[in-house]
Amino acid sequence: MIEQNFDEALPPDWVKANIDDVYNELVILRQVIPWQLILDQLVSFYHPGKGRIGNSLRVMVGLLIISRMRKLSDREVVGQVKENRYLQYFCNVAESELSNFIHPTALCGFRKRLGEKGIAQIEESVFSHLSSAGVIEGDTLLMDSTVLANNLIYPTDVRLVYQAFSKMKTFAQRYQLAVWWDSAHLKKRWRAFGRSKAPQRATYLAEFYFAALRPLLFAPALQTLRDNFAVLKISPEESQLLATLEILETQTQQKLAGKRHIANRLVSLEEIDARPIKKGKTYPTCEFGSTVQMTFNRQGFMITTENFIGQPGDATLYGNTLKCFQTRMDITPQSVITDLGFRSQDNFSNTPNSIEHVFLGRSDDVIESRQDFCRRARSATEGFIAVSKNLRGFGKSLYNGRGAAKRLTGDRIWTLLCQTAYNLKKLVQLTKAGNLSCENLLKLGISMSNQEQQTKGSSRLRWDSTT
């Protein structure tokens, strides 16, 4: 069960005594985020009549958002809420609750309960609120893709085979089976591999796979695992283990046969959707993760995100991404701006005629009077992506999803939460710069005092943090 509505946990006297910086981003965003709308949507993930009442949805959603805004782990965000008055105010946590505050693992369980669908509802609620207030403009579409790296140790073929034994050992312990390989010999050879120099390492893959010196390493061990699967009742989630190890077996055979370029190469047994991706950068030359396709408007708001396994061609993604932008903004942009990677005759032909300016990496794609605007917008896209990767969490995903029906789930949840944090940060940036009108701020729900200060010709408003 869960409580759908929430009450303000902090009395006005506490707010007046502890929240003196009314321009703090947390004070602003506490008023902007449509908390009740989000809670109304998330209550469906709980049974209406069974179980004890869970942790406050208002607090849990606040913790999820602030963890990505401040790039904090679950343990860190819980610890900082206990110490920081502004975080307590943002998350609506009363002082009386701090001594028995939630455990960090509750956040992991909360994300699992919501899944991709629930997290998407949080992001959609925040984005729709900003859009309906007239804050997000849709006249220009900026499109690009980047790599969302996973949290992986640099993969090697021998390391993957060695990790496969750890997976099989966990399986054996779960079903109370004795391990069917020589563990002592395996550890000895793994240590020898770690001490060896690069020229010597090529021979170790064959040894770990064929077990020429000692029986029962990977190839025969995998066959024994198949036999166990045939006689045991295995859950669908556990059946993914055998499928993954069989992919590793095929990949290892191709590597031993001398094949250098392997399609859909497996680089991790934890992140089975991660792939080696090269984006033409000097360093790192290769990243391991998935592709995330982004669109922005000229203000810098992140409009849409899409996650893909591997490295699909940018030109093949153009049409669907354009439709996603139009659907979300409910408007056809006047300008579409991309780099040369999206350039193709099909993309020019399939772009709706209602879009006046289509810039696919070359100045002569548009009329002369729009060339400077398009070049500047294209340069701005790189800046938006740099901010998203270095400051807003898109540099590396720390979540993963497992099972055949959960492809890219972890990366998608991470992307949606980071997108929410990115757009909220952008809102604060524009608000503090005085780029939003009084009407925009009122629609966002920001309470104002009667006094207005004129700064550079635009109004900067003073917020009332007690509401």
Question: What is the C-alpha to C-alpha distance for residues 147 and 402, in angstroms, rounded to an integer?
Answer: 20
In the prediction, which pLDDT does 402 show? 57
Distance of CA 372 to the CA centre of its chain: 33
Exposure letters 440-456 (e unless 16+ CB within 10 A, then b):
bbebbebeeeeeeeeee
What is the architecture of the domain spanning 137-152+274-428? 2-Layer Sandwich (3.30)
User: Which among 187, 195, 197 has a CA at the least distance from the CA of 162?
Assistant: 187
Q: What is the pLDDT of residue 47?
A: 87
Q: Compute the distance between CA of residue 225 and CA of residue 208 in angstroms, rounded to an integer.
A: 17
DSSP string, 56-67: -HHHHHHHHHHH
Nearest to 146 by CA among 377, 350, 396, 351: 396
Give residue 458's pLDDT.
40
Q: 């790296």: which residue's tokens? A: 149
Pairing of strands 448-455, 357-360: unpaired
User: Please, which contacts does 178-186 make with residues 24 or more away whose CB atoms are closer than 8 Å?
Assistant: 180/216, 180/221, 180/224, 181/216, 181/217, 181/220, 181/221, 182/214, 182/215, 182/216, 182/217, 185/214, 186/162, 186/217
Determine contact, residues 2/57, Cβ cutoff 8 Å.
yes
Predicted local distance difference test score (pLDDT) of residue 447: 65
Beta bridge partners of 309: none
pLDDT at 404: 43
Q: How many CB atoms lie within 10 A of CB 79?
A: 14
Element (H or E) spanning 431, and its range?
helix 409-432
Return the CA Rg of the chain: 26
DSSP string computed for 174-204 = HTT----S-HHHHHHHHHHHHHS-GGGTHHH
Q: Are strands 458-463 and 448-455 parallel, antiparallel or unpaired?
A: antiparallel
Cβ proximity of 53 and 2 under 8 Å: yes
**Which pLDDT score, from 0 to 100, does residue 10 have?**
93
Query: What per-residue confidence (pLDDT) applies to 448?
Result: 54
Q: How many Cα atoms sit within 13 Å of 355 on the Cβ side?
A: 25
Q: 245-262: per-residue pLDDT in tens?
A: 999 999 999 998 888 889
Q: What is the pLDDT of residue 454?
A: 36
* DSSP-derived 3-state class of residue 293: strand
The single-letter DSSP state of residue 11 is: -
pLDDT of residue 235: 80
- The four Cα atoms 99, 104, 108, 110 give a dihedral, to 10 degrees, of 10
Q: Which residues on adjacent β-strands are paired with residue 446?
A: none
Q: Give the rounded distance of the alpha carbon of 365 from its chain centre.
A: 33
Q: Are 420 and 68 in contact (CB under 8 A)?
A: yes
Per-residue tokens: 51 = 């179980």
pTM value is: 0.91
Residues of the chain with pLDDT under 70: 210-216, 401-407, 447-467
451, two tokens: 């006094």
Spell out the domain ranges in the chain.
12-128+435-463, 137-152+274-428, 157-256
DSSP code at position 399: -
DSSP string for residues in 204-252: HHHHHHH-SSSSSSHHHHHHHHHHHHHHS---HHHHHHHHHHHHHHHHH
**Secondary structure of residue 314 in the 3-state scheme:** helix
**Residue 145 contacts residue 441 (beta carbons within 8 Å):** no
Q: Which residues contact 87 (CB under 8 A, 6 or more apart)?
A: 26, 66, 80, 81, 93
Helix axes 218-231, 157-174, angle to 10 degrees: 30
pLDDT of residue 446: 81
Alpha carbon 135 to its chain's center:
24
Strands 140-150 and 396-397, bridge-based pairing: parallel
